[in-house]
Each structure stands twice: as C-alpha cells, then as structure tokens.
Amino acid sequence: MTTSSSTRFDRLLLTGAAGGLGRELRRRLKPHCRVLRLSDIADLGIAADGEELVPARLEDSAAVNALLNGVDAVVHMGGVSTEQPWAPILQGNIVGAYHLYEAARKQGVKRIVFASSNHVTGFYRQDEVISPRDPVRPDGLYGLSKAFGENLAQLYWDRHHIETVSLRIGSSFPEPKNRRMLASWMSYDDLERLVVASLTAPVVGHSVIYGMGDNSTSWWDNTPARHIGYRPRDSSERFRAALESADPRPDPTDPATVYQGGPFVRAGPFD
C-alpha cells in the first residue's frame, strides 16, 4: 500500500464525504494517499487534484461494490448520523453497512475505519466510567444501528479477516457546545490523529475505541485500544468556565443529565 515517503496508500475511500466530519476529513486525508475517492448522496462539489467523486447510495449493493473497486482502505463516515425514524436508519446504517462489508470482501479490501458512535453505550450513567469491553447499551435506534455495525465488523474479521477499527465518536466540533461535551469533546486535530492511527496501526483485528480528547472529565477508558497508537492532545478544559457559567445548575433528574447519551436518550420515536 505504501507508495512513497509522503503517502501511505494508493487509493483511500471516504464515504459520507459531504457530511460535517466528512468535509473535515476530506482535506486532512488527502496527504496520506495518492488518490482520495469521495462518496456521498449529497453534493460533493468539484474534485480537486488527486480526488475522485463517486456518488453512491449505500442501499444500492451494486453501486457500493463498484465504489470499493481498487480501494486500499475505507473510512466509512456514511449513513444516518442522528436519531431518525426506523426506515432511513435501516437503509443507511444496517443494509448499507452490510453492503459495504460485502463489497470489501468481494474487492479484497482489508482495512475499514468504521464511524460508530458513543450512543452505542448512551444508557450508561454519567457517574460511570466504561471501556470498549463493557456490554452495549444503545440510547436509541441510531445507537442500535451502530451496535449492529460493530457486530458486523466483528463477523467479517472472524470469518473473512477484514480488519476494522470501530470509532465510538463522541462530540467532534471546533469547540464543545455544552457541559456534556466537556467529557465527550474531540477536536478536529484529534479526529485526524485517531483516523490516521486507525488506518496505519500494523495489526488491529476488530478494535473498538472511543473518539474523545484529552479531557479532564471522562466517562470512557480507552486502555483496551492503546495498541491503536492514538494519543489525544487537545482538552476541553479551557472551555469549562464558560460552559459551566452558561448552565450553572443542570437538572439532576433530567435523563439528558443522568445518562452519557445526553439528549439522545429522549429523542426521536421514544418521546
């Protein structure tokens, strides 16, 4: 896969490239490959040098199979990224994930970085510290679909030796937006470090790691995934005073305050 001292891969695929994190990774992944293939169902704009634009619907198995042709590795950010009704989650996150892994098997792709979510374990309490080895406790249909994706990744590792790093991404924004994100925040620079480490670690099998910064407050222990080589550098601490001042007395009876999933525990069809 190594093509020169400055690029590690010949062709990388980034799905969900028109989304919030996809747009950020689009510019950050290009230095790591000769060609960056970008896919989404939303507008991807104009291809820059070294980019390929290949729109594809994840529920279209033939389109996804063609999408993975000639690809060395996949960063899978595509699919539904919020709590939604069942139908779009089923198509984007469950049927679509199956099509992606089947295409990887058929096309000989051996490494996938899968955007899972902290909402796989959103019904743990905020007074608990958990690790990737603890049982899942999804906080909604979205979290449930990401738990399926992690199980799918495990199956394809056990049966077909396709390696995956499942990233239980917390809250990746330029800065944390509320008190909850003092624990879950991850900077864009740390997101890049996490994805690149997941792509380049020599051996990962199927590894699960929480996507978080070097925050003083933390609900997640990433010790079982230290072999990935991810070491966050950015902390939410410099934002603490402003966020606590804006919300000085959070309601201790509000499920969004009690549980790690925040507002997701009372979102969507479970209202």
The residue behind tokens 């291809």 is 47
Decide: 13 and 73 in contact? Cβ < 8 Å: yes
Residue with tokens 């994706």: 149
CA distances from 98 to 1, 95, 102, 190, 252 (A): 25, 5, 6, 28, 40
In Å, how far are 46, 72, 76, 125, 170 from 50, measured between CA atoms?
12, 15, 19, 45, 30
Catalytic residue from among 98, 101, 142, 210:
142
Q: Which residues contact 129 (CB under 8 A, 6 or more apart)?
A: 218, 219, 220, 221
Task: Write the CA distances from 130 to 41, 152, 214, 222, 237, integer angstroms.
Answer: 35, 22, 16, 9, 21
CA distances from 173 to 142, 235, 236 (A): 20, 12, 11
Distance (Å, whole) CA 52 – CA 48 = 8
- The angle at the Cα of 190, spanning 131 to 241, to the nearest 5 degrees, equals 85
Residue recorded with tokens 């999804």: 138
The answer to whether 142 is a known catalytic residue is: yes
Long-range CB contacts (within 8 A, 24+) of 20-23: 20/81, 21/77, 21/115, 21/169, 21/172, 21/191, 22/77, 22/78
Phi and psi torsions of 104, nearest 5°: -60, -40
By annotation, the residues acting in catalysis are 142
